[in-house]
Amino acid sequence: MSQHSAIDDGLLRTVALSIGFFALAGSALVARGSPATGYEVSMYAMTPSLVWVGLMIAMAVALTIAFVPLRGEPRGGRPFAIALGGLTMVVFAALPIIRGYRFQGHYDALTHLGWARGISEGTMSPFELFYPAIHVTTVFINTVIEIPLSRAMLFVVLISMLVFCVFVPLCVGTIVGDQRAAIIAAFAGFLLLPITTISMYLEAHAMSQAVFFSALLLFVFVKYVRSDLSTTRISAIGAAFSLTGVAAVVYHPQLVVHLIAAFVGICAIQFLAKRISADGQIAGQTPVYGHTIFLVGLFLVWSADHGFFGGMFEHFIGAAVDFFRGSGSAGDTVATQGMSLNALGSGLLEVFLKLFTPHLVFALLVGGLVLGLLFRRDSHWFERVSAEVTYFVVALIVLVPVFGAYVFAPGSSMFFRVFGLMMVFVTILGAIALHGLSGRLLEGRPTVAVAAGPLLAVGFTLLLVLSLVAIVPSPYTYNASPHVSETTMSGYETAFDNRDDEIDFLGLRDGPNRYDDAVNGNENRSWAHADVDAAEFREGVSGQYETDRYLALTQIDHERELDTYDELRYTETELEAVADEPGVNRIQSNGEFDLYYVPGATSEV
């Protein structure tokens, strides 16, 4: 390439990157200037279109500079392209913060917010929780930056995503030893494959944050097995491995159970390799026997006072009994969901493709990588990555029966937690497979000339769109947004402050219980309040209960039941008829939260 061409290429990259960064900054400013004014059933639909245009331009520039050559190999600009792509992901994930959401997350997320509140107010000790990491971090951010707890917890979610997006490419780069592999892995990480919106969420959810954190643990693991400990028994990387193990236990001990299973499988491979092929690559690496035992010990010590073993034993025994009786299996849950989707004019296949197409693509890549490892062992590239690929494939194989064990659980979707961890391994292995495949294409053949870079750019563009459009619940995936508006939260706060302690709350889909946790910082999750099922609602709530009740109905309930679920369980007529029932009085309203006094059967109407 001539000097003039090199200058032109450099100028083009600079201009393109400038456009990308300006588009990203513009998106953030437009989002900041368009705060949410109430509950939003879809973050995607309610965020201004200019925000999405800017984010798409920024990511398109990042992909182009990272993968598409101009007049030769694009040596310059790649670090800036990764930075641009990473910042685009930060703005995307931080939209609830930028647009002023009070909170993001229903159900478990609200309970986690309540536990953080209890720690902050001193009514709870962190050691009373089985997994206090996200709550302690929330309180730390709340104290240092002096922002509300709910906003601090949104930052915890964002930080955990950043950990994943940073350490996936670092892990792959260490394994392959090539910058191009790290770049591919960075965009693979941006897919956020562990998040499925089924038991794994981009919101406050201890297991989700723990799975993101596991990318750091795997990076340290790779550095450790590649280190030379022949001259010393203690090393900085070994200490780091131990410390990340401690952090993993505090993030979520259930994740550590899954990781222990994976590491036991890796230990078995290392043990066999040293006896079958003493001069092989795996045999020459540092074994992780000691750290696996250390992780087991940590888990046993931490879980000893939390009743984990008794609860887990009872859970799986009960689940197995239900399974063999033919009730409560995952199949029943899937069948029920399928009927609901059919009633909405959709089906399981459509939802599967919306949620799992990127996962399926990467699973196929991993399958191809395994076949290559088995049948092309003479390849220099496979020889370079074979040890870690073998470790992570074994980890996936070991996690399959763990995944299957959770399938026994009646009405549970916890097997998607194992699936989320499996997707961390799949992301790393899939990125390695893409590096090897694109390398083959770059080598070229006399009869085939394929530009690997443009293919990667186009492929990641499609996968990023498919993945990120489904990463936050919305009507697109037949779910309502987990947005919690200021008005909704303040409505519950006022209701709980002014309630008669002798009267319990009613609500739709466990709403009052979770908000009770969030507002009052309950040490134990609240079960005091009841749901109103569809049949009771249809008959009328007045006189349905022995004693008086409060009924809380929110804008969230209306948007979810009428727009997202298309009146599948509760109709608009039924929701509006509550105020006209005999004896029912609306005693509080703020536009998004209505509280009704419902007389009991023994009350005079």
- Number of domains present in the structure of the chain: 2
Same domain, 565 and 426: no
Average pLDDT over residues 541-561: 90
Q: Which domain holds residue 126?
A: 102-443
Same domain, 536 and 424: no
- At residue 192, φ and ψ (nearest 5 deg) are 55, 50
Same domain, 226 and 278: yes
Same domain, 120 and 257: yes
> 7-16, 294-303, 322-331, 408-417: which range is least confident on average?
322-331
**Domain end residue (candidates: 443, 464, 493):** 443
* pLDDT of 604: 53
Average pLDDT over residues 406-433: 87
For residue 283, tell me if it sits in a domain: yes
**Domain end residue (candidates: 393, 417, 443):** 443
Q: What's the rounded Cα separation, in Å, for the pair 4 and 23? A: 29
Same domain, 431 and 509: no
Summarize pLDDT for 252-263 with one digit per residue, the tens: 999 999 999 999
For residue 29, tell me if it sits in a domain: no
Same domain, 420 and 528: no
- Check pLDDT > 60 for residue 605: no
Q: Which residue has the tokens 């006896």?
A: 275
Q: What's the rounded Cα separation, in Å, for the pair 399 and 392? A: 10
* pLDDT of 315: 54
* pLDDT of 4: 54
For residue 8, tell me if it sits in a domain: no
For residue 499, tell me if it sits in a domain: yes
* Cα pseudo-dihedral 30, 166, 193, 205, rounded to 10: -80
Same domain, 279 and 417: yes
* pLDDT of 510: 77
Summarize pLDDT for 479-516 with one digit per residue, the tens: 899 999 999 999 999 999 999 988 999 998 877 999 99
Summarize pLDDT for 179-226 with one digit per residue, the tens: 999 999 999 999 999 999 988 999 999 999 999 999 999 999 999 999
pLDDT tier, 11 (very low <50, low <70, confident <90, very high otherwise): confident
* pLDDT of 271: 94
* pLDDT of 449: 45
* pLDDT of 448: 47
Same domain, 215 and 306: yes
Q: What's the rounded Cα separation, in Å, for the pair 546 and 543? A: 7
Same domain, 119 and 219: yes
pTM: 0.92
Average pLDDT over residues 68-84: 76
Instruction: Write out the two tokens for 577.
Output: 């008829």
For residue 522, tell me if it sits in a domain: yes
- Check pLDDT > 60 for residue 268: yes
> 5-9, 277-281, 499-503, 529-533: which range is least confident on average?
5-9
List the one residue out of 215, 178, 166, 202 whose CA is nearest residue 425: 215
- Check pLDDT > 70 for residue 146: yes
Contacts of 20 (CB under 8 A, 6+ apart): 57, 58, 60, 61, 62, 65, 84
pLDDT tier, 334 (very low <50, low <70, confident <90, very high otherwise): low
Same domain, 190 and 306: yes
Q: What's the rounded Cα separation, in Å, for the pair 131 and 303? A: 10
For residue 214, tell me if it sits in a domain: yes
- Percentage of the chain modeled with pLDDT above 70: 86
For residue 340, tell me if it sits in a domain: yes
For residue 368, tell me if it sits in a domain: yes
Higher pLDDT, 508 or 408: 508
Same domain, 275 and 399: yes
Summarize pLDDT for 149-159 with one digit per residue, the tens: 999 999 999 99
Same domain, 253 and 401: yes
- Check pLDDT > 70 for residue 322: no
Question: What is the b/e burial string over 391-421, where b = at least 16 CB atoms within 10 angstroms of the residue's CB?
Answer: bbbbbbebbeebbeebbbbbebbbbbbbbbb
Q: What's the rounded Cα separation, in Å, for the pair 25 and 348? A: 39
**Domain end residue (candidates: 384, 412, 443):** 443
Angle (CA) 48 53 54, round 5°: 100
